[in-house]
Structure 1
Amino acid sequence: MTTTTTPTDMSGMAPDANRGLGGPLWKPIMVTLLVILVVGGVGDQLTVLDDWYDALKQPWFKPPDWAFPIGWTIIYLFTGTSAVLAWQRAPSPGLRSWLLWTHLVSAVINIGWSFLFFTLQRPDWSLYEVAVLWVSVAMLAVISFRCDRTAGWLMMVYLAWVTFAGTMNWAVVDLNGPFPMVAGG
């Protein structure tokens, strides 16, 4: 009597068991890295800590400026890992499409916050924008959970950060508003 066995990965599962649509892993990793580099690079270029920023009264709970790049690195790592896991394990092409477009829209909104806050020097406008960002990240978390539980939990780190950032943004507006209609005016 011969027995055939299915090869397993390190988890003990067959390579494609419970993995949704699967496919080559390098493609979602490369797309994720590209998006992270673009969003991080553009956001970094828009984040200018100049005299205007230095003059803002900051809330007592704001982390030191050096902590933000560390925090964003962790957020990008978790968000990228979540994106790859969710993409690999999405149960349908339709959910994959929602995942991709929601990530891209969220990335644009993320960049928009830096533009409003730092370039236009409008913390009041960026406060409205951060609410939109929060909704987009919450949608990403929900979609990610539908694809993979771990992917969903990883998105909760980003959602927690946006919640905290929104609170800091509100405090900056409260401590410094109203703001002129034109930057530097």
Structure 2
Amino acid sequence: MYYSLNKPAFSPPANLFSIVWTILYILMGISSYIIYISGNPNTTKALYVYALQLFFNFCWSIIFFGLSQYLFAFIWLLILILLIVKMIQLFYKISPIAAYLQIPYLIWCIFAAYLNYVIYKMN
């Protein structure tokens, strides 16, 4: 389905997505593990937000690719970005390194939101 969409010139090639997401999930896993083993009393709240944003991440693919609801997917992605920002804030209070490891994910999701919006406008 992605191949048949009208996409902007700045849209990355489809095969790049799997490479980027692999790297991002590795960073996310390391980051969440640092939080998990920290022994900090705020760990549960931080990991709850982490799990919630993972759920939003998972659902975005269904909304965008499965349902072809590009505007709703864009709005969903904006909520995901807010959850990522909150997660980074909570992680930072426990471990700045764990928070910094989430920055590439945040940047990629901001780029994805822009791309999602442009695809919505073009289709």
Query: C-alpha root-mean-square deviation of aligned residues, in Å?
Result: 1.1
Structure 2 counterparts to residues 10-159 of structure 1, below 5 A: 50=1, 53-92=2-41, 95-159=42-106
Q: 1:161 aligns with which of 105, 108, 121?
A: 108
Deviations along 1:74-131, whole A, 9 cap, x unmatched? Answer: 1001111110112222531xx1111221111111101110011011111111000000
Q: Distance in 2 between matches of 1:103 and 1:137?
A: 8
Q: Is the 8 A contact 1:134 1:162 kept in 2?
A: yes
Q: Distance in 1 between matches of 2:59 and 2:97?
A: 28
State the AA in 2 paired with 1:74. Answer: I
Please, what TM-score do these two structures have when normalized by structure 1?
Answer: 0.64
Please, what TM-score do these two structures have when normalized by structure 2?
Answer: 0.95
Q: Distance in 2 between matches of 1:126 and 1:160?
A: 17
In the TM superposition, structure 1's runs of 4+ consecutive aligned residues that sit over 4 Å from their partners are: none
State the AA in 2 paired with 1:133. Answer: L
State the AA in 1 paired with 2:108. Answer: W
Q: Percent identity?
A: 25
Q: Is the 8 A contact 1:90 1:147 kept in 2?
A: no
Secondary structure of 2:101's aligned partner: helix
Which structure features the higher share of helix residues?
2
Larger CA Rg, structure 1 vs 2: 1
